[in-house]
Amino acid sequence: MASLFLHNIWLVPFYSLIGAALSVIWFPSITRRTGPRPAGYINAFMTLLTFVHAVLALPAVWGQLPYEVSFQWLDVAGLSLSIPVNISVVTVSAIALISGMNLLAQVFAFGYLEMDWGWARFFSLLAIFEAGMTALVLCDSLFFSYMILEILTLGTYLLVGFWFNQPLVVTGARDAFLTKRVGDLFLLMAVVALYPLAGTWDFSELAEWTKTAQVDPTVITLIALGLIAGPMGKCAQFPLHLWLDEAMEGPIPSTILRNSVVVATGAWVLVKLQPVLALSPVALSFATWIGSVTAVGGSLIALAQIDIKRTLSYLVSAYMGIVFIAVSTGFTKAALLLVLTHAVAIALLVMSIGGIIWNSITQDVTQLGGLWSRRPISGLAFIFGTLGLIAFPPFGSFWAIQELADGLQDTQPWLVGVLLLVNALTAFGLTRVFCLVFCGEAKQMSQRSPEVHWPMMLPMTVLLGFTLHVPLVLQASSLLPSWAEMSKDIALLFTWSSIFGCSLSAIVYLGKTIPKPVHFPSKVLQDLVAYDFYTPKLYRSSVVVTVDLISRLTSWFDKYFVDGIVNLFGLATIFGGQSLRYSTSGQSQFYALTILLGITMLGLFLCFPFLSHMALVVTASLLQQSVG
Amino acid sequence: MQLQYFLILAAALFCIGIYGLINSRNAVRVLMSVELMLNAVNLNLMAFSSYLDPQSVKGQVFTVFVIAIAAAEAAVGLAIVLAIYRNRDTVDMEQFNLLKW
């Protein structure tokens, strides 16, 4: 029975696609009678089917070696492309995670979009996302992964731009699309360049190929950099990070999904590509640097945000940065572990603040406060989301970060330092949000802010429970690093860094000694961090200005030079016609002259051979006469 | 007396006719120039007939035809000139340019 589900696991993406297709029929004439809700229920049901399918297939795949099924897609002129489907424990559990997350997000959306009329659109987009992600984890080919990533890019655009009547939403969606496009463009270059070298796009065959590959170091470095660029855009790494922040303009349920699993698609592809990246040390250190800078920068920026959603958005970049570090140093298992634990924890955090946004008057953390007594479940969810995200034993991310740090301590100890710093900063930042939102006196804006209704509470509590059980799940699937091999010093260090970050933050934001509102010691530093290191300004003054200038120049060139040449021909023809018409004088005598001249010319032309001959004869006779 | 002299004379007459045809402003003078040209043609025909074909005198027959046609043409031409004159009160050729651009 279970193996039947396993063999048909490739059907999974189609469930959500069917759901998406079915919600299309909820067009206005139907929606007017039924309300928009049935579309959501259909999609949630399809997601449930996916989830159940994946969970039922899990026992069959447990302990099995991964195997591949292949579907022919294109066979022309010697180029044969088939879609390889990789079935393994990792992919099936990834599908379970994705569909489970999506199910929770959809149930959350039942509550969050209670008054919204865009249900069909929203849920079908979520379904397309789910289909894309499940297809991505199943698909074992770089080429099709690229295609799916593009579909996800489009999905992000549509989902962020869900409330398209607000200008910030429109710019946010646009920026998300363009930023990811930049990454995808480089990725496409690398994907195309890789094929002639490796002769395959299948991840498993690529991994085989890298073992014996003999390639020019420059070429493989360029390709690897291109391959990194795609995930950089997806995972919102510096310098392609701004979109994730702006994507917070979209609805919260999609944010839950995006921050937990959609950004992880980039990490997934990166993990799959690790053997290829490992061919180029330059690319590896590039990824390490990008990851470190993003991790530190992201967690720093998160400290100074006052928008409650944006306090979380940069942490996602930061944790994806850690995944980058893990992949570039070769700890793909730790990377996947971190993706799992991060997805669960950040989704819980987003759900918690999503409820707060839903029925509080403001999103500004400085104007919220004292919500602990009013909404304890959200508070608990936030606490355990925080603990699950930072390295705090025995919760989720501790084990992932621990495993990574364990491996790094001998080779690159400075990266352990980076991890410690990021961990402490994240702990500080999340505790800050908790203190500002849940502790202290209730401020004017948060006086009336009760706990939200059950469709949002239910997924939050379910996820809360799951977050608490993540270590047990890890243990059951024997993913935990063994306690005996673990470095206790590192574990202690991370635990202390978490405790230090949390308690320092609590002292700063709850203690009476520091005047409120809390400021950074230096105004310059605070502005630098609060304005995202001035990256928006930097982009506006560099990339945007340059593109604007170039487009103006080309527009000018096109308008005045290219069009000018064409118009010149037109004008010349008009001028020619206008001036030639004066030859039509209207006088019959002139016409007679023209005819006569024409005939004379024609006659001369026709007689030219005879005339020239005659001229010769005349000259000869003249010469003869003069001689004679 | 040679054939060429007649031909040259006829050509000269033809040229004068053309000159008159194109340059005259008076419509009647244009018609007269046409008559000159026809006469030049007649001269040619007569010359060829006498020098090259003295037996069957086809040229002379042609000449008779041309004279007849010329008379007819002159009649029609003058009628046209008269018709135009009645409409436009002038025989100045430069006034008849209704079809200019």
Pairing of strands A67-76, A79-87: antiparallel
CA A46 to chain CA mean position, Å = 24
CB contacts, 8 Å: A581 with chain B: 101
Report the pLDDT value the prediction gives residue A578, as an integer from 0 to 100.
92
Give CA–CA dist A379/A356, Å, rounded: 10
Give CA–CA dist B76/A31, Å, rounded: 89
- How far does the CA of residue A174 sit from the closest CA of chain B (Å)? 58
Give CA–CA dist A617/A325, Å, rounded: 100
| Span A27-72, pLDDT tens digits | 667 777 777 888 888 888 999 999 998 888 888 888 777 888 888 8
- Say yes or no to pLDDT of A481 above 80: no
What is the mean predicted confidence (pLDDT) over A502-520?
83
Report the pLDDT value the prediction gives residue A628, as an integer from 0 to 100.
64
Contact assignment for A588 to B96 by CB distance below 8 Å: yes
By C-alpha distance, the chain A residue nearest B96 is A587
Q: Does A579 touch chain B (CB under 8 A)?
A: no
pLDDT band at A405 (very low <50, low <70, confident <90, very high): confident
**Contacts (Cβ under 8 Å, ≥6 apart) of A387:** A395
Contact assignment for A589 to B93 by CB distance below 8 Å: yes
Which residue, among B33, B90, B100, would best test binding to A if mutated, counting the most A CBs under 10 Å from its CB? B100
CB contacts, 8 Å: B22 with chain A: 589-590, 592-593, 596
Contact assignment for A584 to B100 by CB distance below 8 Å: yes
- How far does the CA of residue B57 sit from the closest CA of chain A (Å)? 28
Of A585, A592, A596, the CB nearest to B97: A585
Report the pLDDT value the prediction gives residue A27, as an integer from 0 to 100.
67
Give CA–CA dist A330/A270, Å, rounded: 11
Q: Which two tokens stand for residue A475?
A: 């243990």
Q: What is the CA radius of gyration of chain A?
A: 34
Least Cα distance to A345 among A300, A386, A383, A402 occurs for A386
Which residue, among A582, A588, A600, would best test binding to B if mutated, counting the most B CBs under 10 Å from its CB? A588
Contact assignment for B93 to A588 by CB distance below 8 Å: yes
Least Cα distance to A170 among A189, A157, A183 occurs for A157
Cα-based distances in Å from A25 to A34, A38, A367: 12, 10, 43
Please name every residue paired with A364 in a beta bridge, in sequence order, or none if there are none.
A307
Question: To the nearest 10°, the Cα dihedral for B61, B67, B68, B70?
Answer: 140
Report the pLDDT value the prediction gives residue A622, as an integer from 0 to 100.
87
Contact assignment for A589 to B99 by CB distance below 8 Å: no
Per the model's pLDDT, the better-predicted residue between A25 and A604 turns out to be A604
Report the pLDDT value the prediction gives residue A28, as an integer from 0 to 100.
67
- Say yes or no to pLDDT of A616 above 90: no
Q: What is the pTM of this model?
A: 0.81
Contact assignment for B18 to A584 by CB distance below 8 Å: no
| Span A314-345, pLDDT tens digits | 999 999 999 999 998 888 888 888 888 899 99
Least Cα distance to A381 among A449, A307, A317, A437 occurs for A437
The winner for highest mean pLDDT among A36-40, A204-208, A353-357, A407-411 is A353-357
| Span A117-130, pLDDT tens digits | 788 888 989 999 99
Give CA–CA dist A253/A331, Å, rounded: 31
pLDDT band at B12 (very low <50, low <70, confident <90, very high): very high
What is the mean predicted confidence (pLDDT) over A422-426?
91
Please name every residue paired with A69 in a beta bridge, in sequence order, or none if there are none.
A85
- How far does the CA of residue B21 sit from the closest CA of chain A (Å)? 7
- How far does the CA of residue A577 sit from the closest CA of chain B (Å)? 11
| Span A572-588, pLDDT tens digits | 999 999 999 888 888 88
- Say yes or no to pLDDT of A536 above 90: no
By C-alpha distance, the chain A residue nearest B92 is A587
Give CA–CA dist A288/A270, Å, rounded: 12
Asked whether A384 and A468 are in contact (CB, 8 A), the reply is: yes
Average pLDDT of the residues of chain A: 87
| Span A345-355, pLDDT tens digits | 999 999 999 98
| Span A185-198, pLDDT tens digits | 999 999 999 888 88
Length of chain A: 628
| Span A109-168, pLDDT tens digits | 998 988 887 888 889 899 999 999 999 998 888 888 999 999 999 998 999 999 999 999
Report the pLDDT value the prediction gives residue A118, as an integer from 0 to 100.
83
Of A581, A582, A589, the CB nearest to B22: A589
